[in-house]
A = this chain, B = another copy of it.
Amino acid sequence: MSVRVAVAGASGYAGGELLRLLLAHPGVEIGALTGNSNAGQRLGSLQPHLVPLAERVLEATTADVLAGHDVVFLALPHGQSAAVAEQLGPEVLVVDMGADHRLADAADWERFYGSPHAGTWPYGLPELPGGRAALEGSKRIAVPGCYPTAVSLALVPAYTAGLAEAEAVIVAASGTSGAGKAAKPHLLGSEVMGSMSPYGVGGTHRHTPEMIQNLSAAAGERVSVSFTPTLAPMPRGILATCSAKARPGVTAESVRAAYQKAFADEPFVRLLPEGQWPATASVYGSNAVQIQVAYDEAAGRIIAISAIDNLTKGTAGGALQSMNIALGLDESTGLTTIGVAP
């Protein structure tokens, strides 16, 4: 008994990654694939790595085309999901891979995205406290942003265990696919190869309020976040270096114990053995999160570092994991912790 799935936005990086994963998922049947400016084109010319779907032709993103599926994934530009979702019945599982339904605070949404708030859906990060329960049986899922996924998993255990002050400093490096497939001069290979550069500095990146939301929920108080994203010369991957001042009494042992407890039963989170640090290469193409944590006594800070694949666990893999939970399937179906390396 197979679930029939449609993907809106199949020509982009998030849509392509989702299709890569869906092709390996034994319980789904791939239905309609839609694009916008690419409607009418063969998928083989847009996503040449998806050989089994090469002859499929993209359709327009309309309610008619998306109708008649059990699950609809929306891999659309921010601000476009709500209008499409409204036309899909309440019995359809709608998984929004854009930002539209992530934020609980309408004012945050309006400040960072400049449009009316579309509402808040159950949040697709099962590893958060209470995360799975929120997704079970749900018909609407808001897939987290890639940076908030990496950052929340790195710091939530410290906040849940009451180990850290409510001020986090985060510097994260992302591969260029995080910026999408739209051709912009600063994303040309000639520009990015051999170069590291920051952007969205000083709290202006749209993922900032989402991080604050997640960390504050774990801390039970408002956590301030200084977030600096940087563009790294690689196609995929996020390395998030996160730190916060340790509360009095914290020790290296109490920090490690908190992280071991938090991730003991998580199928996709691997707390590395002491002394081993994550690398994005290890999670390339996988849904795994590799994490390490240290307590820097001299500086008085807890440093937690996570590595994910921004397109897999950070977007399409996280979406599929949440779909599995919502549908009552085994959470790991169609997903792997094994990276493609070197």
Instruction: Give chain A's interface residues, CB within 8 Å of chain B.
Output: 13, 16, 20, 23-24, 42, 44-45, 47-52, 54, 167, 169, 171, 173, 175-177, 179, 181, 183-185, 187-199, 201-203, 224-226, 228, 230, 232-237, 239, 241, 243, 245, 270, 272-273, 276-286, 288, 290, 292, 294-301, 303, 305, 307, 336-342
Say whether B188 contacts A176, CB under 8 Å: yes
User: Smallest Cβ distance from A199 to chain B, in angstroms?
Assistant: 6
**A54 to B339 Cα, complex, angstroms:** 12
Say whether A225 contacts B340, CB under 8 Å: no
Set of chain B residues within 8 Å of A288, measured between Cβ atoms? 51
* Contact among B189, B279, B337 with A235 in the assembled complex (CB-CB below 8 Å): B189
Query: Whose C-beta in chain B lies nearest to the C-beta of A184?
Result: B183
Asked if A193 meets B13 with Cβ closer than 8 Å, knowing A303-B201, A341-B47, the reply is no
Set of chain B residues within 8 Å of A176, measured between Cβ atoms? 188-190, 193
Asked if A273 meets B202 with Cβ closer than 8 Å, knowing A49-B282, A196-B280, A230-B241, the reply is no
Say whether B234 contacts A298, CB under 8 Å: no
Q: Which 4 A-B pairs have the closest CB atoms?
A: A49-B339, A195-B281, A197-B279, A189-B192
Set of chain B residues within 8 Å of A23, measured between Cβ atoms? 336, 338
Asked if A24 meets B338 with Cβ closer than 8 Å, knowing A48-B282, A232-B233, A298-B203, the reply is yes
**A78 to B226 Cα, complex, angstroms:** 35
Say whether A194 contacts B235, CB under 8 Å: yes
Asked if A48 meets B290 with Cβ closer than 8 Å, knowing A183-B183, A195-B281, A342-B235, the reply is yes
**A303 to B51 Cα, complex, angstroms:** 23
Set of chain B residues within 8 Å of A237, measured between Cβ atoms? 194-196
Set of chain B residues within 8 Å of A20, measured between Cβ atoms? 338, 340
User: Smallest Cβ distance from A23 to chain B, in angstroms?
Assistant: 6
Say whether B191 contacts A241, CB under 8 Å: no
Say whether A225 contacts B189, CB under 8 Å: no
